[in-house]
Amino acid sequence: MIKLEHNARLGRMLRMDDLASLGVSTQTLTEDAIQAGRLDEALALVDYFHQEMRIMHDILITWLTDIVRYIVAHSGTSEQADQVSTQLLATWRDYAFGVDLQERCKEAIRASHKTDGTVDPAAAEPAIDLLDRKPAIDLLDRMRLEFKVPHDVLVAWIQDLLAHIAETWGEEAVLDSILETHQSIWGDRYENWDTMTPHEKLALTVEGMRGGHFSGERRRGDMTLIDEGDRFKMIMELCGSGGVLRRGDPETGRPPHPIGEHGVNVDPHLWTWGKMGIHWYCSHCCIAMEWLPGRKRGRPLRPLDHVMDRDAPCTWYVYKDEADTRAYHYPRSGLDTPPDAPDEGEDWRTEYPGGS
């Protein structure tokens, strides 16, 4: 069941659906509402879909601005680092991605509800010509593509700039640069995490990988959600950011992003799960969700099962009570395992494709 509602903790709209629909693309649900003639729902979902995409776009621009500032500052011109980084990314930040299409889509939805004025008293709504639905649905998809194409470029750009940092100043500099941007991205986004209900935490997490990163084979934001009792499991087949970098884009057939000689780590680090060959972009998942919060909070914030097989799904976990975070999540990023951490027999040295 779709539950699009204002979230007081975030100060904005958030989808709080049941698990059966929460992992379904907002684009798909909007199309369903358009086809069924649910005018108010369709219009609200168009606005929310645009919001989902814009939030992640702004996050990527913030990250790139911080990376550029890091590079400029460490190249000997630190006085101008803020000005140069902000100006270089200004167009990406200010460009009105999807705004015109958002409004045109809503106009097309409203137009599809025009009738000849006759109303069947027995019907809940006026009779509507279903042939008028296609323009709105086409505009909705064009709005997605207007965000998705730059999204994939921005993710690749982050990967390439982090590779430049690693090549120029060493692998530890990648960690240093991500720590500099941590608060402005993940710190702010998850500021209210500890006050949120488990379902709110899941909804916020899913939002980022749904309309934010365009996960799933269709690149619309689809994923599988499972309630395992102690935790919610998110399975993305595939992850729309790092997964597309590693595997390529199934929607267009674009191959994996070429990473060059310095695009992955050659030394194992606790902030790369102790593994070698991690794309620099993907390292932020370990840093921001496991390594850093583990050192601040004593446990991971939202652990995941990163696997080296690029064709494997990406699986994340949201624990209903973080005290129940299972034991195998701790050693992978060098955290001390609490003596009361539940142990289901998982071996932290084992890869977990699909989270199994």
- In the chain (356 residues long), the average pLDDT of successive 10-residue segments reads 93 96 97 92 96 95 91 76 67 68 80 57 47 85 94 92 92 96 88 94 96 95 96 96 95 90 94 95 96 94 93 95 95 95 91 58
Q: Which tokens hold the place of 70?
A: 């890091």
One-letter amino acid for residue 48 of the chain:
Y
224-227 vs 12-15, strand pairing mode: unpaired
Residues 6+ apart with CB under 8 A from 264: 276, 277, 278, 279, 280
Instruction: Tell me the backbone φ, ψ of residue 126, rounded to 5 degrees.
Output: -60, 155
Measured CA to CA, the distance from residue 267 to residue 163 in angstroms comes to: 14
**What are the residue boundaries of the structural domains of the chain, listed by start?**
4-355
Q: Whole-model pTM? A: 0.86
Contact 35, 130 (CB under 8 A): yes
* Burial profile 208-241: b = 16 or more Cβ within 10 angstroms, e = fewer: bbbbbbbbbeebbbbbbbeeeeebbbbbbbbbbb
- The pLDDT of residue 181 is 92
Measured CA to CA, the distance from residue 213 to residue 249 in angstroms comes to: 12
- The pLDDT of residue 75 is 78
- The pLDDT of residue 97 is 65
- The pLDDT of residue 116 is 45
Q: Which tokens hold the place of 226?
A: 């499972």
One-letter amino acid for residue 72 of the chain:
V
Measured CA to CA, the distance from residue 177 to residue 64 in angstroms comes to: 11
- The pLDDT of residue 324 is 96
- The pLDDT of residue 93 is 66
- The pLDDT of residue 19 is 95
Measured CA to CA, the distance from residue 222 to residue 306 in angstroms comes to: 19
- Cα angle: 288, vertex 225, 222; to 5 degrees: 85
- The pLDDT of residue 114 is 66
Q: Which tokens hold the place of 290?
A: 């496991």
Measured CA to CA, the distance from residue 207 to residue 40 in angstroms comes to: 21
